[in-house]
Amino acid sequence: MKRVYIAGAGIISPLGRGLVATEKALRENRSAVRPLDLFPLVQGRPLPAGQVSGLDEPGPLPRTHRLACSAALQAVADFGKPPDALILGTTTGGILTTEQLLREQEQEKEPYRYHGLHTVAEYLARELACTGPVLTVSTACSSGAAAITLALEMLRSGRAKNILAGGVDSLCRLTYFGFHSLQLVDKGGCRPLDVQRRGMAVAEGAAMLLLTTEKPASPLAELAGAGLTCDAHHPAAPHPEGRGALLAMQAALSGAGLDPDDIDYINLHGTGTPENDLAEAKAVHSLFTPPPPVSSIKGATGHSLAAAGAIEAVVSAIAVAKGLMPANTGFQEPDPALDLVPLQEPANRPTHAVLSNSFGFGGNNGSLIITRPEKFPLPPDRRPGSGLAIFGCSCLTGAGDTGATMTGIRSGIPIAGTAPIDTISKDLPPGLIRRLKRLPRMALSLAVSAHKDSGLKQKPMSVFMGTGWGALSETYDFLTRLGESDEQFPSPTDFVGSVHNSPASQAAILFGATGANITTSGGDYSFEQALISADLLLRGTDKTALVLGADEGHATLSPLLDASISPATSLADGGGGLYLGRLREGSKCRVRVPFYQNGLTDDAVPALIDSLGGQRKLQKECALVLAGIPAATREKGERQLERFMDLSALPVPVVRYRQYTGEFTSASAVAAVMAASYLETGLVPGALVQGDDLILAGKQNKILVLGMGHGLSVMEFSRP
């Protein structure tokens, strides 16, 4: 077990830019929530919002990217070298720019190049010269906390020594009108825990933590523990008893090796909505008797969504470093139902340990524990994992389900395209999917089929999902209706469904999966990032999990957003699902992700080969290479593949699987299922390798799924 120090921190929020300005605003106990003026409204008075002032003048770079860059540069200002990895939580990406482009009916692809959530983290990586793993997490309002949790696990596992982690979101029409459509916005401002509270104030901002296992000269604080759970209860409402929130806090305490009595202050999620505050209060009372001092800063900042957990992690670090417990701005009268009276004025007192909560749509909960450096002893280490065992798998392609897809490949029939919605939904309960559109139906179908294929009665503890673009149908339909109705009648159902983690949350609700629920959105590496997340968060447990990867083809948005889809490209979509765990007994095969690098360097391919055991080991054990080369990066990917084959000297077939699946960002999930299926049967169809059937026998029993293009990754599949 290693200590994880906060070596640097950056923050930009409605309260100001930087640690000094933030501390000053907190001590003054002032609110920065004011009427929105970032973009014009068609009608009506603007609602209160937490808007950042003084951001650099806009250019082609979207507002989210500029917010993230401001916080990141602050965090690494005194570091002197690039971080080993970067993990970022966000829900908006470049949507504010995309909204305007769609209103202007822009048809060229170039202006949309920064739409994807992954583009924010990748932009930061280029600016900071970070060539290691770059992960994008999107778990609604717990995204920032989830990103920091993954960073903690990656550092403690020894896979990195220094990681920049945090969250960012900008204001946009989607969130501004979306939360208003759910009647969750208080027109009088945000008043967390107050008896008269009526809702939240949507906000924006960014915060980043530079986390390291190498003790700095003057660490700001220590990240001691973290916990992630899912309510598995409702797509938008919290569990009424705060069940998931309680489990997250307990997991954070356990990870830090602390007791509830060790916590000096709780930074509440405290959105100001009646149900959320009540559920959190119940969870706090279940764990703390009596609770320590508590407050929510959202009355001062507003709710900055994916950035909230990271902003409040920085505030928690300030609390520890400066002995400052922030006030609950806007609070006036206690609510007897909560039995929780927050700090009404900033308190100056020694603060050794802070618990910070972040909860989001889909019941995604995250809790962080930040302490004074080396104040508490380290807890015992958990046994690290060594790969994941696959018990069941499933896929969807234009050909249909797993059986139809594998039959098509075996027969040499094209499987690219978009399967009819009825085909995708055929094994799902009609009542469950009545209001669901394409992507959540795909995710549920993959989840149900993978679990069924396992033959196990045990249900998954966690759900991990990779998706490059999220729910395009819901996003497009929400924005279209918003425009057509002159901003009067946006769809609350489409808004809830538009968040990237909605499909994974639906799967958690279906299976009652109350463990970590992570959605990654890393472009063409989204599924690989989901597998990495599963490997990190399943350490020390014998529970099982679903790892899904899926993207939908959308006739309007896909050609605009996906660089690999040209006007001449046929629309395709699909995905894959794995039901897996740590225990090997009864598994079909094993999978691990030994290498993932975002930036390309001269030693990237040799490093990948080393991660697989070197040239000799590869030649003895590898039987097949499935290469994923997106059309947008074909030349670069082909050069990478050529170098890999030259340096490894592998005398095995190479299959460029996108020629079969078609172009969509989660195609690697289908390739993963292909690899698992071939290892289970011991045979690779001759039609796939342009020859006779390939028999997998003896020591030559590994299949590699390579991801090439902007980055470089490998998924290694082997017999149990």
Catalytic residues, by residue number, are: 141, 269, 303
- Tell how far CA 517 is from the center of its chain: 9
Q: What is the DSSP string of 353-408?
A: EEEEEEEEGGGEEEEEEEESTT-SPPPPPPPPP--EEEEEEEEEBTTBSHHHHHHH
CB 657 within 8 A of CB 677: no
E strands present in 638-695: 654-656, 683-684, 694-695
613: exposed, middle or buried (C-beta count within 10 Å: 0-12, 13-18, 19+)?
Answer: middle
Nearest C-alpha neighbor of 175 from the set 492, 646, 504, 423: 492
Rounded Cα–Cα distance for residues 309 and 243 (Å): 19
Q: CA-CA distance, 11 to 34, in Å (whole number)?
A: 20
HSE, CB side, 13 Å, CA atoms: give it for residue 239: 22
The token pair that represents 134 in the structure block: 């770059």
Which residues neighbour 212 within 8 Å (Cβ) at sequence distance 6 or greater?
Answer: 4, 5, 7, 155, 161, 162, 163
Residues 6+ apart with CB under 8 A from 313: 144, 145, 148, 166, 207, 209, 223, 356, 368, 370
Half-sphere exposure of 358 (CA within 13 A, CB side): 33
Task: With beta carbons less than 8 A apart as the criterion, state whether 53 and 304 touch.
Answer: no
Euclidean distance between CA atoms 167 and 143, whole angstroms: 7
Q: How many CB atoms lie within 10 A of CB 480?
A: 15
Q: Which two tokens stand for residue 559?
A: 């050609």
Residue with tokens 């699902």, as numbered in its chain: 577
Cα distance between residue 367 and residue 357, in whole Å:
5
- Which residues have a Cβ under 8 Å from the Cβ of 156 and sit 6 or more positions away? 1, 2, 4, 213, 381
What's the full length of the chain, in residues? Answer: 720
The H or E element containing residue 252 is helix 243-256
Q: How far is Cα 636 from Cα 605, in angstroms, rounded to an integer?
A: 13
Report CA-CA distances (Å) from 554 to 388, 420, 551, 563.
33, 13, 9, 14
Q: 639-652 burial, b for 16+ CB within 10 Å, e for fewer?
A: ebbeebbeebebeb
Dihedral sign for Cα atoms in the order 687, 689, 691, 696: negative
Here the contacts of 257-262 (C-beta below 8 Å, separation 24 or greater) are 257/224, 257/225, 257/376, 257/377, 257/378, 257/379, 257/380, 258/224, 258/225, 258/353, 258/369, 258/371, 258/376, 260/287, 260/288, 260/289, 262/352, 262/353, 262/376
Q: What is the DSSP letter of 515?
A: S
* Cβ atoms within 10 Å of 458's Cβ, excluding its own: 12
